[in-house]
Structure formats: structure tokens, C-alpha cells
Structure 1
Amino acid sequence: MKKTGAGNFFEDFQLGQVLEHATPRTVTEGDVALYCALYGSRFAVQSADSFAMDIGYEAAPIDDLLAFHVVFGKSVPDVSLNAVANLGYAAGRMVTPVYAGDTLSAGSKVIGLKETSSGKTGIVYVHTIGENQRGELVADFVRWVMVNKKDPSTPAPNVPESGPVVPDLPDCVGAEHLAAPTDLDMAEYNFQLAGSPYAWGDYTVGEKIDHVDGFTVEEAEHQLATRLYQNSARVHFNQHSEKDGRFGKRIVYGGHVISICRALSFNGLANAFKIAAINGGAHVSPIFAGDTVYAWSEVLDKMELPGHPGVGALRLRTVGLKDKSAQDFPYKDEAGKYDPAVVLDFDYTVLMPRT
């Protein structure tokens, strides 16, 4: 009897299907230290218990993206083990703070199915939810993935006769749906220790920020990072199989690039102390070991948060680039085509002290 699994192919997914993902994960202080070693992120709230406790946290919460990657990683064996590419994100929220010692688990629901024009693959839309050991919502997000078919020569039996189902997704998470901690005392926020004097009121819609620094992706580091999240997608690990793939080598996990860009964004956005929402995102082109990542950000919107007088929200677009500096803010041309250097287009919302 066969006891191993090959993962789900496009034909295996059904609309409304609920997937309970295996392997709950207790996040430890070791994970936090390793995450810091991989990216060098310097946001003060996540770096120092004393800083975080001064403004009302019980300790330094783990980085929001570490929590996101752990939840995402839980979903990979069921959703994207046979993926060609992770295509995008929407409607993501980071809700309850996660601390070292918390245990995260995840589940997903299939909310959309669409066969591609080639007939060899299909696009699967899932809504993934991550919870802690108390059943509190830590994160939820929608993502869509291009997945190989098991038999490319036959029509997919799981797409309804009425046609493809593509969920209607919001452009962004509205201010009323952002989870801002209600018990923070931003009067105790120390801008000197945080590394920047610039608060929410100092940013303007349309402003662009070159984050200046570059980060070269190392083979060992991206492999280690992806294992940290227990992300088992073979395109990131198996050179024996990927030598015959589209690129002839392993692809760097897109979340690794997101974390690099977030760490780079400290230079210019040091007081963006929490990611509250992931509004959308696209991995425009792949990254490989040896590539150097640069990033720039644009302020898309500013939002006041009723009931949180000390905290404001900035909606940002952070653009990651490969082997090209961000000083001229490369993005899209007049026809809407991405600059060849663009690897990441990430739309998210951060919280900042207002004064």
C-alpha cells in the first residue's frame, strides 16, 4: 500500500473544500533569533521586550511576517506542492499578536477555480486562516496559485459547468477591518530608540522613498529560511528535479523576498511598527541565489483609526528590484508593463505612531 503523497493537483480541488493543514507549530525564541539573523530586521517593537512593553505589549511580539510565513507554510503541502507559481495575495489581515511560545495552526477553504487557456494548469483560490493555541485569529489571507494538472490532456472535472469561479476580492482592507491593538500607549513610544523621528503625520500620499540599501540573496540563507517555515514546495529545494524545470535551478520562495524588502524598508519607514494588512501582491519575476534585492516604497493612502488616537495607518506599495538600485523608482512604463528589474509588487498597510 502506498503511504506517501504527491500533493494535490488541480483536478483534486473542489469548490468549498476545507483543508485542515498538518503540523501545528510552536514558535520559539530560537525561531525569532534565526529570523533576525536571516533578514537583520531592526524594527524596535519586535527587537526589544522593554520597548514593546513600554507601549503596552506583553513582550516583543514576533515579526508579523514570521507569523505570516509560518501560517503560509502550513498550507503548502495541501495547496501548492504542485504549483507552477504563487500568483497573488489579497484581503490579508494580521490580527492577534504572536509571542514566543504560541502555537500556530492553519486551515484553508477553496473559494475559486479556473482552468488556464493552455489546459495544462489551473488556478486555485484559497482563503487561509491561522490561529493560535487559544483559537484566536492570528492571520487570514486569500492567495491564488497556478497548479499543475495531473493529466494535462483531459478537461478539469472540478470546474463548474457554468464556468470558472473567480472570487470578488477587495482592492484593500478598509480601515474599519484593521486590527489595531486597543491597549497601546503611544505616548511612551521612544522615537530616538526606534531609529527615526518621522511619525504618521510626516508622510504624504504619493511620497516615494528609496530604501537605498541592497541585500544579496545567498543560496544557504534562502534554503534555511524556507525550511524555517516548513514550506515543502519542491521548486525551492530539489535541484535534481528543478534542473529540468523552467529555469534549470531552484526558485527563491517569494516570501523570502517580501521579508528582505520589509527589512530594507526600515531605512525610511523605521516607525512602521506593525503590518496590519496585506492588500495585494504579485511576484512579478523569480529571484535566484546571487541576485541582489533593492526596494522602494510609495505611500498610497493615509487612514485614521477611530478609537486609536495615537496610531495611524499608512497603505504602502513596496517594489522589490533585482540587481538595480531604486533611486529612480523603477516600476511600470506607460503601457503598464513592469520594468524588467521588478520582482515584487507588494501592497500592504502598516501602523505608525501619529506623533
Structure 2
Amino acid sequence: MKTNPGRFFEDYRLGEVIAHAVPRTVSGGERALYHALYPARHAFYSSDEFARASGLSAAPIDDLIAFHIVFGKTVPDISLNAVANLGYAEGRWLKPVWPGDTLRSESEVIGLKENSNRNSGVVWVRTRGLNQRDEAVMDYVRWVMVRKRDPAASAPDTAIPKLAPTVAAADLVVPEGLNFTRYDFTLAGEPHRWGDYAMGEKIDHVDGVTVEESEHMLATRLWQNTAKVHFDATNREDGRRLIYGGHVISLARALSFNGLANAQMIVALNAGAHANPCFSGDTVRAWSEVLDKAETPAPGVGALRLRLVAVKHGAEPFAVKGEDGKYRRNVLLDLDYWALVPM
């Protein structure tokens, strides 16, 4: 058989390193399509001149474009037969990605656990995105629930990795040369500096975006994400295509501009959960909470640790979990990340 049915849970081995196929050379086309798909307006990724005034040679590719490309490479080997992508941890953006860079991905299996129903199991992988010089541009851990080929098949021994709850502020990587001492708040769109945000502050980002079938399908193809649940309507009993979780992340991040326009660069992903499924027709709204603040060695550059929550229209404001400790039905995404802001 020459076709590839994808890996099932019993096919993974602890410590295995998987080199993912099909490197991708990035161009300005990815940026244009990204900004067409999402209401992305952060000045740092929109203007070469703004980025030059901030100490870089030009505007790099949006941080989430790099994430989507690196993630998409992994899907045929990690989540083609996924039930759901469950979470993220220990993610760091290590180098800017520029038009002309070629990205590839590799993943190490760091954890395995069969589910009690024996129909599926959870696979933990640490993925690295590398450029054409074999430099790591980002790495992160994610875990995904994967179907078994045969429920009666023996499963790998259980091994659950111990993951850090957050990326320490001292471990954040600030791009070489970044300097916000000449930051233009007028061009950026808001006057709010690092010192204007208080820990515990919550920000309603006000706006909403209704998910269209055509847009999420275009986005998933753009990132070469081949997971069956996103494409094949017969793959789910309800006959609905599940929206790629990264699409929700990018929508929420773009919506966060209203209140966090100066949170220019995502540099770390502490944790994340796709709490409930998103489908075409859902209207996504977002709010953020300031969890922590840190200074960086770069001139004029501070860091905010932010909790970004995406919800369906009609969700109770600033509510995440019920009294039972479970996510409320209208919560789509709960993301914990570090972003760089001017001081």
C-alpha cells in the first residue's frame, strides 16, 4: 500500500524523533493572506518602517504565522487521526522569521497514555521549527488525543511528562536589536504602555468575528493542516467540520488589538486549552487578563503575561469555568502567553 493512513496511538514510541515532511519557504503572500483572514493590525508586523524604528531590519513574519506553519508540518504524523488537540506548554519563539526563510519541523514523543476506553490515547510531543540554517525559530509542547487502530491492541507504557506551568520571564528570548525607546504610539494605535497595565486587570476586547466556512477552510489549507476532522464532514457523527484550533487562536489574538494594540510580539506560550469545539457560524469574542509583568534587558521593552480567552457570542463576561471546575460551554480557548510591549 502506497497511501498513508496516518499514525494511530499504538504506533508511537517514547523518545522517537519524527522529521516531518514538506519544508516551506515563507513569502509575503503568507502575511497578506493572514491579514485577509484575521483582523490583524499590530503595527510591528504591518510596517517595515515601524519595525526598523524598533531596531529590526524589516517587519518579520507574524509570530502566529510561524506557529501555524510549524504546526501544520506536524499534522500528518501527529494528529491526522486525532480526536482533539488538547493543550500546549513550554512554547517559545526563539528567532524572527523573515520572508525567504524556509521552515521545517521535527517532533520528539515525550509522553504516552492510553485512555480508559481503550479506543484512543494521549500523545505528548515537543516540536521544533527550524529554518534553512538549522536554527530553531520556535519550540513548544502539545498533547493530542489520537484514535487507536485496534482497541484491543496493546498500548505503549504510560509516561506522562512533567511540564513547567509557565515559561520563566528570564527565559524569554527578545529578538536581537529590538529597541522600543523610539516607539510611535500614534502609529501603533493606542497610548497604553507596560506601566499602564496592572496585574489582575481584565480587558473586554469588545469586537466579534463570525466564523465562515470558506475562511476557516482556506486558513487550514494555507497552513497545510490535513487533520481529517477539519476537512471531512463524514469524519464526525454530527456531520460538521471542526474549526482548526489555531484559527480560533489567531482570531482571538487579532481581536485583542482593541485594548492591547501595543502587545506587539508573542514570545512565549505558557499553556493553552481548546475548551470546546468551534463550528462555522459561531461568533467569536475575546477578553484578556494581565497575569504578570516583567522587565527585559532590551531598551524600552517590557513583557506582559496575558490570559487570552475566546468565547462564543452570548457567554457570560469574564467567566471561564463553572462551580464543577469544568470549562463553561461557551468558552472556546484559554491561552496563557507572554508578549513584548513598550515601557
Residue 118 (structure 1) aligned with residue 117 (structure 2): yes
Equivalent of 2:307 in 312, 317, 341: 317
Equivalent of 1:288 in 279, 304, 318: 279
- Amino acid in structure 2 at the alignment position of 1:119: R
- Amino acid in structure 2 at the alignment position of 1:345: D
Report the secondary structure of 1:277's partner residue.
strand
**Is the contact made by 1:196 and 1:270 (CA closer than 8 Å) also made in structure 2?**
yes
- What is residue 70 of structure 2 aligned with on the other side? 71
- Amino acid in structure 2 at the alignment position of 1:324: G
User: How big is the shift at 1:95?
Assistant: 1.3
Indicate the RMSD between aligned Cα atoms, in angstroms. Answer: 1.1
- What is residue 225 of structure 1 aligned with on the other side? 219
- What is residue 3 of structure 2 aligned with on the other side? 4
**Is the contact made by 2:291 and 2:307 (CA closer than 8 Å) also made in structure 1?**
yes
Q: CA offsets per residue over residues 293-324 of structure 1, 9 Å max, x none?
A: 0000000111122x224111111111100122
User: If the length of structure 2 is used for normalisation, what is the TM-score?
Assistant: 0.98
Report the secondary structure of 2:181's partner residue.
helix
- What is residue 249 of structure 2 aligned with on the other side? 258
User: How big is the shift at 1:62?
Assistant: 0.9
For the residues of structure 1 that align with 2:331 and 2:128, how far apart are their CA atoms? Answer: 29
Gaps of at least 5 residues in structure 2 are none
- What is residue 54 of structure 1 aligned with on the other side? 53
Residue 278 (structure 1) aligned with residue 291 (structure 2): no
**Is the contact made by 2:119 and 2:151 (CA closer than 8 Å) also made in structure 1?**
yes
Report the secondary structure of 1:154's partner residue.
coil
- Amino acid in structure 1 at the alignment position of 2:200: G
Moved more, 80-89 or 175-184: 175-184
**Is the contact made by 1:127 and 1:142 (CA closer than 8 Å) also made in structure 2?**
yes
- Amino acid in structure 2 at the alignment position of 1:155: S
User: How big is the shift at 1:325?
Assistant: 5.6
- After superposition, residues 18-29 of structure 1 pair within 5 angstroms as 18-29=17-28
For the residues of structure 2 that align with 1:86 and 1:212, how far apart are their CA atoms? Answer: 27
Gaps of at least 5 residues in structure 1 are none
**Is the contact made by 2:179 and 2:299 (CA closer than 8 Å) also made in structure 1?**
no
Moved more, 332-341 or 200-209: 332-341
- Amino acid in structure 2 at the alignment position of 1:39: Y
- What is residue 333 of structure 1 aligned with on the other side? 322
- What is residue 351 of structure 1 aligned with on the other side? 340
**Is the contact made by 2:179 and 2:301 (CA closer than 8 Å) also made in structure 1?**
no
- Amino acid in structure 2 at the alignment position of 1:275: I
Length, aligned pairs only = 343
Q: CA offsets per residue over residues 240-271 of structure 1, 9 Å max, x none?
A: x23xx243211000000000000000000000
Residue 214 (structure 1) aligned with residue 205 (structure 2): no
Q: CA offsets per residue over residues 192-225 of structure 1, 9 Å max, x none?
A: 0000000111000000000000000000000000
Q: CA offsets per residue over residues 83-132 of structure 1, 9 Å max, x none?
A: 10000000000110011111101100000000001111010000000011
For the residues of structure 2 that align with 1:300 and 1:264, how far apart are their CA atoms? Answer: 19
Residue 268 (structure 1) aligned with residue 268 (structure 2): no
- Amino acid in structure 2 at the alignment position of 1:277: A
**Is the contact made by 1:212 and 1:325 (CA closer than 8 Å) also made in structure 2?**
no
- After superposition, residues 37-52 of structure 1 pair within 5 angstroms as 37-52=36-51
- What is residue 149 of structure 1 aligned with on the other side? 148
Report the secondary structure of 2:45's partner residue.
helix
Report the secondary structure of 1:73's partner residue.
helix
Report the secondary structure of 1:77's partner residue.
helix
**Is the contact made by 1:129 and 1:141 (CA closer than 8 Å) also made in structure 2?**
yes
For the residues of structure 2 that align with 1:324 and 1:316, how far apart are their CA atoms? Answer: 23
**Is the contact made by 1:119 and 1:155 (CA closer than 8 Å) also made in structure 2?**
no
For the residues of structure 1 that align with 2:302 and 2:13, how far apart are their CA atoms? Answer: 40
Residue 109 (structure 1) aligned with residue 108 (structure 2): yes
**Is the contact made by 1:74 and 1:106 (CA closer than 8 Å) also made in structure 2?**
yes
For the residues of structure 1 that align with 2:201 and 2:238, how far apart are their CA atoms? Answer: 36
User: How big is the shift at 1:176?
Assistant: 1.5
